[in-house]
Structure 1
Amino acid sequence: MKKSLSLMHLTFYGTGMILGAGIYSVIGKAGGIAGNGLWLSFLLAALCASMTALSYAELATMFPKTGGEYIYLKNIFPQWPYLAMLCGSLMIFAGFSTATTVAIAFSGYLHQFFQMPQFLTALLLLGVFTSINILGIKESSWVNVVFTLIEILGLLIFVWIGVQSPSFGEALSNVKWEGTIVSGAALVIFAYFGFENIVNLVEESKTPEKDLPKGIIISLLVSTALYLLVSLAALALGTPEELGLSNAPLSDLTKNAATWVPKALGGIALFSTANTVLISMISTSRIIFSMAREKDLPAVFAKLSPRRDTPWTGAIAVFVLAMALLPSGGIEVVASASSFATMIAFSIINLSLIHLRFTAPKKNRPFKVPLSLGRLPLIPVLATTVSVALLFFFPRAVYVLGFGVLGFISILYLILRSSKSLNSSK
């Protein structure tokens, strides 16, 4: 795979994925829960996400191969191949289900400008980004840079409108620490998901041992700063009650601004959702490629384009999987199940890092999570606690679907393992 990505590209990938469509919806529900403490909820969520991000940064520099969670577990627990297969498959599910649900959200925003069938719009978007994915990582990265800058512009427009309100910043001094702030943080932490996708670009990074940790950390810092400003602007433009009742708070809170503002935010939301689809498809195709290269998926998915050095068969596989989910209509439970799968992966990754600190303390670590008590890394311990705790914040339907996915992965693992045993015995 071509080493084309600099620190700037990695940072834009992480920032673009974090600043996806989530902020446009989750801020309303979180504001209704946390009230004037909304900005504290974002700060607390950022702290929780950053703890797991540091674990990813350490493992990515120790095992600089495409595949993320799958590769880490395959190396840390070679005696438990099922665990690596499970985690890799969960992230594939999270990736293509995110691509599908956000592609459908894209079609919803497009309706503000002209009418087009939802299914067709989402299908075309998935097809275009599959082509860009196959075209090359450098080309994909520049599309992502442009889209991310437009995303940031949209949030800054909203902040600019909020700053003009006399009540901007009052929430900083008019807040009490309450349990609702923690509940708000449990909701908005999902707006920080995306940093983990950067590790799937490790083999396409020029200097991954230096740039990957920096890219993860910088993207989280940039996103947190923007989220804090947006939350303060939202509280200046509306009450917590108004936020809680709105499904499109950023648009609703700016309806009294200049006539061009709501339409501009709607147009920018197109780029925000499209960017999330693009990055999800890119990172998921790399996981499929890695699992096939390691012979845990059919070898056909390990093929690289002769000219572009991109995993073209993996990219097509993501397209087919995402397309197959389109008839679901991007139902909310599917999107939540994607978050559920991610939280399981976060829990496993943090526990794996703790295990590795005891079993391989002298192994080279170009980046190391700070703060330890002897060999025990304190930050991953806290991150594990948070990740496991957040698994209890999902509705019942998500658990049904989530465990259904786990069962399907287990059956698939047994089938592939049996097939592999038969082939080796011939």
Structure 2
Amino acid sequence: MNVFRTKSIDLIKEGAGQKGLKKTLGASDLILLGIGCIIGTGIFVLTGVAAAKYAGPGIMLSFVISGLACAFAALAYAELAAIVPIAGSAYTYSYAALGEIIAWIVGWNLILEYSVGSSAVAAGWSGYMVGLLKSGGIELPKAFTAVPADGGIVNLPAMLIALILSLLLVRGTKESATLNRVLVVVKLVAVFIFLAMAGPKVNPANWTPLMPFGFSGVAAGAAIIFFAYIGFDAVATAAEECRNPNRDLPIGIIGSLLVCTVLYIVVAGVLTGVVPYQELNNAEPVAYALRSIGYHFGSALVGTGAIAGITTVLLVLMYGQTRIFFAMSRDGLIPAGICKVHPKYGTPHVITMVAGVAVALIAGFTPIGIIAELTNIGTLFAFVVAAIGVFVLRYTRPDIPRPFKCPAVPLVAPLAVLSCGYLMFNLPVETWIRFGIWSAIGFAVYYAYSYRNSALNKRKTITE
């Protein structure tokens, strides 16, 4: 049993050619796709929570630490994406560099990352929408806006937004990218409105002490807010629908990360400078900060921008989720029937709707809570594997054409592994336990189904 068999890059490209997706995305689409997923929950929700509970004003340093870890991983991703411009991101890269069993467990954890992340974001979208309607005099009954554990029957708004975005993703990637572009502009305007209004009101005294919980608090905050950065992984999942992947993917991955890191640090600084960090542990810290300094109309505008921001995060997360499923099903590791591409829209419509229904059900009936931290650990694990993969390929396949080369790989790849590993170390023990249980289930599924049904296994049987 050879569980470390690798899939050659030529074979990966051959499979994509037989069951490929429509190429509609350019560099600007990819940058906006990344911004669409990165700027959202991180700025509008997690910044306040992480500052109040973990880092204090040191949340600015937390974003620097997370941003650096992502920068190292992004350089590795950019090289791998240019070499293997196929759907699947770290899953596909691992298959080419490290072997099937590693690729499987990466893909298995990416499925959890995107599913749990999408459900949590859908629930957050519901909270903002219910609050906005309430401020306008429309109060929805709690029975249909809260999960059973919170005293309701079903979180209907969360289910509806998940299903609506699933239908949009079925219609086409370009159509989804167009909506994403509009919503990204709306939320960036909201962010700049906040900076323009709150910036002059910053009181530097609120930044003292800078690290009230010590550096360990800053590190814990960096691990928690890492959820905000997973967008550039979603850019990598779009590789197969990119018109010029060799050039555009590195631009999209690195460009979106740079823009968002700068915005995160600036917003975190202004937010903790306007309001004492102890007051920021609420569902809408940015809007709360504006209300606290008397800008109630500005708060409403930012709240609207937050809804747009969270919508784009959900759209891109659900998009990424379906592309991971698509790549794994094409390789035979999960049933191939869900790999069908719609003859008109050129999208994997079956898995898109299946995944959309699953996200809707989780968001509608399950309290997410601490399990959302699984999104962080799954992403960090994928980043570690991708960094190892680019290092390994430099030595095992030095002949591969590399349209984009990660600079100083002997330095950058280990730094990516160490920095992402450090953030994983700072996640709660409960998260590690859940990660271990989910991975154990994944190994069981692999040995029970995926190994025997792998396209590589069938190819070997035919050859023999």
> What TM-score results when the alignment is normalised by the length of structure 2?
0.84
Report the CA distance shift for 1:81/1:418 in structure 2 as closer, same or farther (over 3 A). closer
Matches within 5 A, 1:294-309: 294-309=331-346
The residue number in structure 2 matching 1:385 is 418
Query: Within 2, Cα distance between the matches of 1:329 and 1:155?
Result: 31
Asked whether the equivalents of residues 224 and 427 of structure 2 are also in contact (C-alpha less than 8 Å), the reply is no
For residue 318 of structure 1, report the CA deviation from its aligned partner. 1.1
Asked whether the equivalents of residues 222 and 423 of structure 2 are also in contact (C-alpha less than 8 Å), the reply is no
Query: Within 2, Cα distance between the matches of 1:170 and 1:329?
Result: 37
Equivalent position amino acid for 1:331 in 2 = I
Asked whether the equivalents of residues 194 and 290 of structure 2 are also in contact (C-alpha less than 8 Å), the reply is yes
Equivalent position amino acid for 1:62 in 2 = I
For residue 260 of structure 1, report the CA deviation from its aligned partner. 1.4
Equivalent position amino acid for 2:42 in 1 = G
For residue 11 of structure 1, report the CA deviation from its aligned partner. 0.5
The residue number in structure 1 matching 2:151 is none
| Among candidates 369, 387, 398, match of residue 361 of structure 1 | 398
| Among candidates 6, 14, 24, match of residue 44 of structure 2 | 24
* Structure 1 vs Structure 2 CA RMSD: 2.5
Asked whether the equivalents of residues 56 and 211 of structure 2 are also in contact (C-alpha less than 8 Å), the reply is no
1:205 paired with 2:242, answer yes
| Among candidates 404, 407, 412, match of residue 440 of structure 2 | 407
Secondary structure of the structure 1 residue equivalent to 2:398 = coil
Matches within 5 A, 1:138-287: 138-165=174-201, 167=203, 179=215, 180-243=217-280, 245-255=281-291, 256-287=293-324
The residue number in structure 1 matching 2:127 is 108
Query: Within 2, Cα distance between the matches of 1:208 and 1:418?
Result: 30
Report the CA distance shift for 1:183/1:126 in structure 2 as closer, same or farther (over 3 A). closer
Asked whether the equivalents of residues 285 and 317 of structure 1 are also in contact (C-alpha less than 8 Å), the reply is no
The residue number in structure 2 matching 1:87 is 106
Give the aligned length.
Answer: 417
Asked whether the equivalents of residues 334 and 450 of structure 2 are also in contact (C-alpha less than 8 Å), the reply is no
Report the CA distance shift for 1:13/1:253 in structure 2 as closer, same or farther (over 3 A). same
Secondary structure of the structure 1 residue equivalent to 2:78 = helix
Query: Within 2, Cα distance between the matches of 1:417 and 1:278?
Result: 29
Secondary structure of the structure 1 residue equivalent to 2:91 = helix
Residue deviations 1:230-262 (CA, integer Å, cap 9, x gap): 12211331123333x444321221113332122
Unaligned runs of 5+ in 1: none
Asked whether the equivalents of residues 21 and 273 of structure 1 are also in contact (C-alpha less than 8 Å), the reply is yes
Asked whether the equivalents of residues 31 and 240 of structure 1 are also in contact (C-alpha less than 8 Å), the reply is yes
The residue number in structure 2 matching 1:65 is 86
Secondary structure of the structure 2 residue equivalent to 1:257 = coil
Secondary structure of the structure 2 residue equivalent to 1:16 = helix
Report the CA distance shift for 1:399/1:34 in structure 2 as closer, same or farther (over 3 A). closer
> What TM-score results when the alignment is normalised by the length of structure 1?
0.91
For residue 100 of structure 1, report the CA deviation from its aligned partner. 1.0
Residue deviations 1:291-312 (CA, integer Å, cap 9, x gap): 1112212111221000111111
**Percent of residue pairs bearing the same amino acid type:** 28
For residue 170 of structure 1, report the CA deviation from its aligned partner. 9.1
Secondary structure of the structure 1 residue equivalent to 2:201 = coil
Report the CA distance shift for 1:330/1:61 in structure 2 as closer, same or farther (over 3 A). farther
For residue 379 of structure 1, report the CA deviation from its aligned partner. 0.9
For residue 228 of structure 1, report the CA deviation from its aligned partner. 2.2
Asked whether the equivalents of residues 100 and 323 of structure 1 are also in contact (C-alpha less than 8 Å), the reply is yes
Residue deviations 1:288-336 (CA, integer Å, cap 9, x gap): 1111112212111221000111111120221133134235534222211
